[in-house]
Amino acid sequence: MITLTGKKVSEGIAIGKLTFYKREGKEIRRIYVKDVEKEVQRFQKARQKAIQELKVLYDTAAKEVGDANAAIFEMQQTILEEQTLVDRVNSIIVEDKLNAEYAIQTVISEYLSNEDTENKIYTPGHDVDVKDVANRLLRVLSRSWKDKMLMDEPFVMAAGELYPSEAVQLDKNKVLGFVTRYGTINSHTAVLARTKGIPSVIGLGEALKKDYDGKMIVVDGYEGKVYIEPDYTTLTKMKQKQDTNVTHVKNLERLKGKENITQSGQRIDICANIGTREDIENVIRSDAGGIGLFRSEFLYMENGPKLPTEEQQFQVYKLAAESMGVKKVVIRTADLGGEKQADCLDVGHESNPTMGMRGIRISLEKEEVFKTQLRAILRASVYGNVSIMFPMITAIEEVTRAKLLLETAKRELKAEKTAFDEDIQIGVMIETPAAVMISGELAREVDFFSIGTNDLTQFTLGMDRTNDKLGKFYNSHHSALIKMIRIVANNVHLEGKKISICGDLAADLDLTETFIQMGIDELSVTPNQVLALRKKIREIQ
């Protein structure tokens, strides 16, 4: 038995024969052309055909994995429509008198190797999407190119790396799981694997040899491990794990559509936390009551050196609002700083960033950036049940200044005759002891609270939650923390407002009953934790 370790991207157990994906290609040769105008037209026709194919792929993907995940292929269309790319390819064809295939390969290689991220034609970190687009263009030009994956029986697929357009078309009835040599856990391919529920492990490196083709393989998507020709003990253990998981998932699936209510009749809402636009579809699949925490900072962190525009942000917030319908969407303004750094927003060097420029502090220092985000959220508010939440609040003055900027954004939109929800609700995160102590006053300034237990715990205990050496001291059930949550809940309820918990403790089933007894109105967890939490609530006497 050979054991390989990679990165887990989609949970589950897959057992079957390993088959390598054969992405056939034609060698791209440098060929001189006499009629450059004809070659330019050939490139343009191929580009238009590729765009049309992506539109069809978007429609197909939207039906299976939802609009949010299908948006990957809209982004790929944008790459093909990027004038810089088109002009550069045309330039090589016309000036160097070279064939379209060679010109495309040259331009794509230039962009992928270009370290100047500011001039890239795509979001940094998504090189595989550019390769996917180039592959499609070259296939159209070659006409006869076809990828081979001919198997009568279900199998486990292996590849160097898998492109998003390939991942979205995987047939779950045929592809039991997949493993790759390369790839990142946040890639579009990984997101699609999770959405489709295909057990996957990526980043196995050169240890994933083609010699293993046809051999029995077990993919453990829970641990990020792969077993080639597993021994009897391992195979038996993995089959048991697979059976247990199937039973567990089926039992949880039966809870969809059920109420989050204890046996004594106490009700509590369950919403979901999201960190990317692709997560929106997972919220719908989880049967959550809405989006309790939309971590908007990802829009900044994934945008390279350029700030996300108002339009970019609006489109993502609008998608979330429309996808949720009447269900709530709580958009937390960018909680940058600390471990969440964005290239587009330089806050300077800090010796202790966790205690430095973070959350609302950055927003109030960079008012124009903040106002751009507020305008985008307000514009999206007419498409659903949207509210705004400010992070890392420590003083009433911070809330006052944030609300004044929100009013400025509202006045600008009114002057432009742009619609928005005039009565949009405003909330704050309770993440510091300071916010706990002034929670009564804060409750008179805003419409709702959400307790971020991750930061509240580390600030209360004075311990870095990411420091492994502090594990034996770090107590997320510390009595001081529980008392703080109770104080905040009492203060907010005295003002007739609502309170949720959106940190890791929201999914801690050992505390669920305690939170219900406190009168917490909502728990917001990751989409895949929604049904397990519902099960726990329904079992409480």
**Alpha-carbon distance 142 to 26, whole Å?**
8
CA–CA distances in Å: residue 345 to residues 234, 247, 358, 437: 49, 47, 12, 31
Choose, from 188, 344, 478, 493, the residue flagged as catalytic: 188
Residue 248 annotated among the catalytic residues of the structure: no
Choose, from 248, 271, 478, 502, the residue flagged as catalytic: 502
What's the alpha-carbon Rg for the chain, to the nearest Å?
26
DSSP-assigned letter for residue 426: E
Residue 388 CB: number of other CB atoms within 10 A?
A: 24
Query: CA nearest 158: which of 88, 112, 209, 223?
Result: 209
Please indicate if the annotation marks 454 as binding a ligand.
Answer: yes
Q: Which residue in this structure is represented by tokens 């009629």?
A: 35
Q: Calculate helix-pair angle for 479-494, 453-461, nearest 10 degrees.
A: 130
Residue 344 annotated among the catalytic residues of the structure: no
3-class secondary-structure state, position 289: coil
β-pairing verdict for 448-451 and 425-430: parallel
Q: Are 376 and 310 in contact (CB under 8 A)?
A: yes
**Alpha-carbon distance 33 to 534, whole Å?**
66
How distant is the alpha carbon of residue 501 from its chain centre?
Answer: 20
| Sequence letter at residue 307 | L
Please indicate if the annotation marks 431 as binding a ligand.
Answer: yes
Answer positive or negative: Cα dihedral of 60, 65, 67, 69: negative
Could you give phi then psi for residue 121, rounded to 5 degrees? -95, 10
How distant is the alpha carbon of residue 133 from its chain centre?
Answer: 21
Burial of 194 (C-beta count, 10 Å sphere; 0-12/13-18/19+): buried
Please indicate if the annotation marks 96 as binding a ligand.
Answer: no
Please indicate if the annotation marks 416 as binding a ligand.
Answer: no
**Alpha-carbon distance 199 to 177, whole Å?**
5
Q: Where are the beta strands (DSSP E) in 195-251?
A: 200-202, 216-220, 225-228
Please indicate if the annotation marks 295 as binding a ligand.
Answer: yes
Q: Are 123 and 303 in contact (CB under 8 A)?
A: yes
Q: Are 448 and 441 in contact (CB under 8 A)?
A: no
Concatenate the DSSP letters of all residues of 23-61 into one string.
---------B-S-HHHHHHHHHHHHHHHHHHHHHHHHHH
Please indicate if the annotation marks 254 as binding a ligand.
Answer: no
User: What is the three-state SS of 74-143?
Assistant: HHHHHHHHCHHHHHHHHHHHHHHCECHHHHHHHHHHHHHHCCCHHHCCCCCCCHHHHHHHHHHHHHHHHC
What does the CA dihedral 306, 307, 308, 309 come to, rounded to 10 degrees?
-100
Query: CA nearest 344: which of 300, 298, 295?
Result: 300
Query: Catalytic amino acids?
Result: 188, 502
| Binding annotation for Mg(2+) | 431, 455
| Binding annotation | 295, 332, 431, 454-455, 465
| Binding annotation for phosphoenolpyruvate | 295, 332, 454-455, 465
